[in-house]
Chain A
Amino acid sequence: MTVLARFLGPVRAEWRHAPKTAFLFFVCVALSVAAFSGVESLRMAADRMLRQEAKSFIAADMEVRSAFNLSALVLERATRLEDEGRIRTAFATEFMAMALPEEGRPTLVAVKAVSEGYPFYGQVRLRSGRPLGEVLEKGSFLADPMALRRMGVKSGSMARLGDGVFMVKDAVLAEPDRPIDMVGLAPRVFIPHEDLERTGLAVTGSRVRYRLLVALQKEEDRAWVKKELGEVLSPGVEELRTYEDTGSQALRWLDSLFYYLRLCGMGILVLSGFGIRGSLVALWMRKEKGVALMKTLGAGPWRVGGHMALFLLSLVIPALFVGWLAGYGLALGMGALMADVLPRGLDVALSPETLLTTFGVGFGFTFLFSILPFSRMVRTPPVRLLQQGGGGQGAGRLAQGIFWVGVIFLVFLAGRMLQQAGGSRIPILILLGFSSGTVLCAWLLVGLARRFPAQGARHRVVMQALKRPGATPVATVASMAIATGMVLALVLMERNLTRLFLEAFPENTPSLYVIDIQPDQKKAVEAFVGPDALFFPMVRARVMAVNGKPIDAAVERKKRGDNLGREFSLTWHGLMEDETLVEGRSLFREDTDMPQVSILDYIRATYPLRLGDRITFRIQGVEMTAVISSVRKRKDGSLRPFFVFNFMEKDLVDAPHTFFAALSADREGQEVLERQLAENFSNIRLIDVRDMIERHAELARQMAVLLRAFSMAAFGAGLLVWLGGLSATAAEREKDAVLLRILGADHRFLLGTGIMETGVQGLFAMILGMLIAQGLAAYVVIRGFGLSYDPEILLMLGAGILALGVMVLLGLVAALPSMGTRPADAVRARER
C-alpha cells in the first residue's frame, strides 16, 4: 500500500496540476487507436471468417465452372473419380431469370439449381430452420425474402420460371457460396437441379454458369484430383477453382474497402499523434519551472524521467483501453452500417488479438510522438527556473534519432500494410505527397506571415502569436489542413458522384433493360417495346490473347477495376450517341478485310492496347482475331448500355447471339410492359434500371455515412491538435492578454486579436485544406471513376468557411479564460 501510494501520490499531483492538458492527452491517445482498432477488428473478423469458412465460399473443395455446358470429358472424369471413391460431386447451375408470380410483379431473380449433396461445406439457412435437402424437392422454389417481397408471394404461392411452374416452399436467409450480395441486382432463388430442364432457360447464348462442385474424400488427394480434373478442361472455356482463390475473390472487394478505411485510420492515427505531441508540449510549458526546480533540488534526469513516464503511463494505459473499446464499438457500428455488403454472419468480437494490436500500435505511436517533448522535459536545465521567455532546452540527439528512425519505420510499415491489403502504391505515394506538400506549404505560409511587416497594433499582436513560446503553428496548420482536406474531399466526391450518377438521370436514359432476347424473338419483342427501344446484338466471348501473347485470366482477374480475364459481350453497332472517337479516323478502316474491333478507352487502364493491336477472342470454342481499328470514349455518367468491343456486323452476325434492348418508360407503363414481356417470353430477363440505381444509391449512402464518420473523426483529431496548440500557449496567451490590458488594450481589442490570431492559422489551414480536397477529390473522381470533375467552388468555399468558423470558435472558447484575468492579479501573482 505504501509503495503504491508512493507511486500514485506524485501522479495524482500531476493530474491535479494540469487536468485539462492531461485530459487532452488522454483523448488524443484514445482517439489515435480507436479508428485503427475499429478497422482492424472488422478486418480481423473478416479474415477469421475467411480462414475458418473458406471452403464454404464455393461450398466445396474445388469446382469446375464454365459458361457453357460442362464438357463430356470433365463429366466422365468426375464420374470415374466418384466411382473410385475419391470424390463426391454436386451440380450448381446459376443464371438470371424472370420469376413470374400468379399475381404480383415479375421479378428478376438469380436462380441456382442445385443437386443433392449441395453444399458440401457451409449451410443454406432457411426461415423454417429445416435442412435444404429436406425442403428442396421436385417443383419447389426457395427464395430470398427480398424476392418474395418484390414478387408479392409467400409460402404456398405459385411462381413461373421460364416454362416451369414452381411452388414457393421457404425463404432462404443465407447461402454459403454467396457470402456477399453487394449489388443486390437480383435476389436468390433455389430450385432443384432436376427441374432445370423444365424451365427451358438454360439455352445457348444465355448467361448461365455451370458449376461442378467437388468434395474430396481424403484431403491428401487434393493435388492429385486437381491434376486429374485439370487435364480434361477445355482451355478458355472451363476453369478449375479451389476454395483458396474463390474465397479470396469473394471478399476481394472487402480488401479495397479495408484498404481505404486503413488509410483513413492511419490518417487519424497520425493526426492524433500530432495532438499527443501538442498536448505534451503544453504540459512541458506548464511543467518546465517545476522540473527545473526538481533538478535544482537534486533530482537527476532518471528521477524526473521516471516521474513523468509514470504520469504518462497512468494516462496512456487507460486511454488505450478506452480506445480499444471505442474501436470495438466502431467495428460493431461499421458492421451494422454495412450489413448488406459484408459477409453474413461476420462476428466482430473483443479479441485478445485486437487488444494486443491496439496496445502495440498505441504504445508505439504514443512513444514516437511523445519522445521529443518528453526528452525536452527531462533535459530541462535547473537554470530555466531563473530564466524568462521561450526557447528552453531542445530534445536530445538520441530522442531525435529514435524519432526519425521511428518515422521512417512507420512509413515503411504503413506501406507494407497497405500493400498487403492489395492496394497499389500510387494512392500511398499520393497521400504521402499531399501530406509532405501540406507540411511544406504550411511552413512556407507561416514563414511568410512571420516575415510580413506588421501594420498596426492588432496586426502586430497577431503576428507575434506565431512566435510565442510553445506555439507550433506549422504543425497546427498542417494537421488542421489535412483534417479539413479529408472532410472537404469527401463532400466534393459525394457531390460529384451524386451529380453524375443520381441527379443527372437524363430523360432519355433507359429505365429498363431487356436481355437474352433470342434472334427469332426480336421482332415480337419490338412490337411490345415500341420503336424507340435500342437493340444491341450480344455475343459472349473471352479474350484469349493480345498480339499473340496469351491472356492469363487468373492474373487479369486480380486487377482492380475491369480486366481482360472476364467474359465480354461483343456487339456490332455504329458509334453510339454518348460515344466519341478518340483514336482512329472512323469506327472501322476500309483498307483491310480482316475482322476489326473498336474498343472503349477505359479498358486500356487495365491492359495496354493500341491501334493496330490484334486481339484473339474465343466465341463458343471458336477463335477469331480482330485488329483494333479505333478507340471510343463514353460521356461521363451515362447510364446507357455500353460495349467494350464493337465489331462490324459481317464479322459477328454468324456467331450465336442474343439481343439486348434498352428502353425508357414511365413507372406504371413499365410495370405493365414487364408483365407482358415476362408472360410472353419466358427466357428473357428484365432489369429495372431505376430500381438498380436506387439500390446502388442506397449502398453509396451507407458507404458515405461510414466515410463521413471517418472523416469527421479525422476532423475531430485535427481539432484536438488545434486544442493542443492552444493549450500549449495558454499560459503565454494569458500573460500576453494581461500585459496588453495593462498597456491599454480593451476587451474589444483582445477579442479582435483573439479572432484574428486563430483566424490566420485557420485561414492557412482552410486554404491548404481546400487545395488538398480539390486534389484528392479530382484524383478519385477523374482517375478512380473516370468521370469529369466539378470543383464546386461555391460549395467548397461555404464548407471551408464553416470549418474556419469552427476553428475560430474553438480558438475563442479556449482564449476566453485568458481575457478574463485581471491585470492586478497578474501583477500580484509575482508577490504571492
Chain B
Amino acid sequence: MILAQGLEKSYEVDGRKLPVVRPLDLHIRAGAFVAIQGRSGSGKTTLLTLLSGLDKPTAGRLILDGEDITDWPESRMAAFRNGKIGFVFQDFHLIPGMTAFENVLFPAELAKEPKAAFRAEILLRQVGLWERRGHLPRQLSGGEQQRVAICRAVVNRPKIIFADEPTGNLDSGAAEDVMSLLVDLQEREGATLVVVTHSREVAERADRLILLSDGEVRHDSAG
C-alpha cells in the first residue's frame, strides 16, 4: 500500500520556486498495477522517485506498506528499499562487472537471504535465462538485460515494484514479453506495481491509470 498526503516537490531556480510535482494525495492499494503517464517534463519520474523514497519531498508525507518513511534517514531507507521495493529502469542499470546470475543474486545477498542462490536460479529459469547466467550484461540483448533486471527487482519478494519506462528501450516484441513477465511476476508475488510509461499498450494493461501534467494529476482512473 502506498499513501501520499500533500506530496510536493519543487526546486529553487534563480531564486524562484519551480514546482515539479504539485501537492497531491494518492492512495494505491496493495497488489494494484498502476500506470503513470504524461508528456515529457510532466513530473512522472520525479513522482516515481518520491513514491519510491529515492528522493525526499519538499512537503507532504509518504506511507509505504504501513510505515511513514517521510523522515527516515538514508541508512534506514536503504534497508527498506532492499527488502520491500524493487526497481526496473529503462536503461536496465545492471552492474556491468557482474554476470546475469550475480546481478539477480546481489540484492538477496545484501538482504542476507539464506536461499539467495536458489531463488535467483528459479527466477532466471522462469525468464528463460538460466543458460545465460554466466554472461555479463554487455553480452546480453536489451530484452534479456531487462528480464535480468526484472528478476533482480523481484528476488527479495518486494511489496512494491517501481518501473520507470521498462519497455522504453525495447522493440515491440521484446516490450510485450517484458511487460508480460513483469505483470506475471507481480501477480505471482502479490506485489504492487507502479509503472511510469509512454506506452499505451502498457497503460491499457494497468488496473489504474494516472495522467500527469505540469506536476499535477489531471486524470486518475480510480476516480
A464 at the interface (CB under 8 A from B): yes
Chain B residues near A748: list those with CB within 8 A.
Answer: 75
A738: nearest chain-B partner, CB-CB: B93
B interface bracket (residues with beta carbon within 8 Å of A): 35 or more
Chain B residues near A464: list those with CB within 8 A.
Answer: 95-98, 102
Q: Nearest 8 A-B pairs (CB), nearest first? A: A744-B82, A464-B97, A824-B55, A467-B97, A457-B109, A746-B78, A389-B138, A824-B49
B143 at the interface (CB under 8 A from A): no
Whether B75 pairs with A747 at a CB distance below 8 angstroms is yes
Chain B residues near A831: list those with CB within 8 A.
Answer: 40-41, 45
Query: B128-153 CB contact bits vs A (8 Å, 1 = yes)?
Result: 00000000111000000000000010
Query: A811-832 CB contact bits vs B (8 Å, 1 = yes)?
Result: 0000000000011100110110
A825: nearest chain-B partner, CB-CB: B55
Whether A744 pairs with B95 at a CB distance below 8 angstroms is no
Whether A744 pairs with B111 at a CB distance below 8 angstroms is yes
CB distance from B121 to the nearest CB of A (A): 15
Chain A residues near B46: list those with CB within 8 A.
Answer: 824, 828
CA distance A810 to B34 in the complex (A): 46
Chain B residues near A423: list those with CB within 8 A.
Answer: none
Question: In chain B, residues 81-136, which have Cβ atoms closer than 8 Å to a Cβ of chain A?
Answer: 81-83, 87, 89-93, 95-98, 102, 105-107, 109-111, 136
Chain A residues near B96: list those with CB within 8 A.
Answer: 389-390, 464, 467-469, 732
- 16 A-B pairs besides A389-B137, A743-B82, A747-B74 with CB distance below 8 A are A464-B97, A464-B98, A467-B96, A736-B95, A744-B79, A744-B80, A744-B107, A745-B82, A746-B79, A824-B49, A824-B54, A824-B55, A827-B48, A828-B46, A831-B40, A831-B45
B164 at the interface (CB under 8 A from A): yes
CA distance A742 to B97 in the complex (A): 17
A interface bracket (residues with beta carbon within 8 Å of B): 35 or more
Q: Which of A735, A744, A822 contacts B78 (CB 8 A)?
A: A744
Listed in ascending order, the chain B residues whose CB lies under 8 Å from chain A are 40-41, 45-46, 48-49, 54-55, 74-75, 78-83, 87, 89-93, 95-98, 102, 105-107, 109-111, 136-138, 152, 164
B92: nearest chain-A partner, CB-CB: A388
CB distance from B143 to the nearest CB of A (A): 14
Listed in ascending order, the chain A residues whose CB lies under 8 Å from chain B are 388-391, 454, 456-457, 460-461, 463-469, 732, 735-736, 739-749, 822-824, 827-828, 830-831
Whether A460 pairs with B102 at a CB distance below 8 angstroms is yes
Given contacts A464-B102, A739-B93, contact A744 B54 (CB under 8 A): no
Given contacts A390-B96, A465-B97, A744-B81, contact A830 B102 (CB under 8 A): no
CA distance A823 to B91 in the complex (A): 14
CB distance from B192 to the nearest CB of A (A): 17
Chain B residues near A745: list those with CB within 8 A.
Answer: 78, 82, 110
CB distance from B179 to the nearest CB of A (A): 20
CB distance from B125 to the nearest CB of A (A): 21
CA distance A739 to B96 in the complex (A): 11
CB distance from B114 to the nearest CB of A (A): 12
Whether A741 pairs with B78 at a CB distance below 8 angstroms is yes
Chain B residues near A465: list those with CB within 8 A.
Answer: 97
CA distance A742 to B40 in the complex (A): 23
Given contacts A744-B111, A746-B79, contact A827 B45 (CB under 8 A): yes
Q: Which of B45, B107, B109 contacts A828 (CB 8 A)?
A: B45
Whether B83 pairs with A823 at a CB distance below 8 angstroms is no
CB distance from B119 to the nearest CB of A (A): 14
CA distance A822 to B9 in the complex (A): 15
Whether B78 pairs with A827 at a CB distance below 8 angstroms is no
CB distance from A740 to the nearest CB of B (A): 8
Whether B54 pairs with A823 at a CB distance below 8 angstroms is yes
Chain A residues near B138: list those with CB within 8 A.
Answer: 388-391
Given contacts A465-B97, A466-B97, contact A743 B107 (CB under 8 A): yes
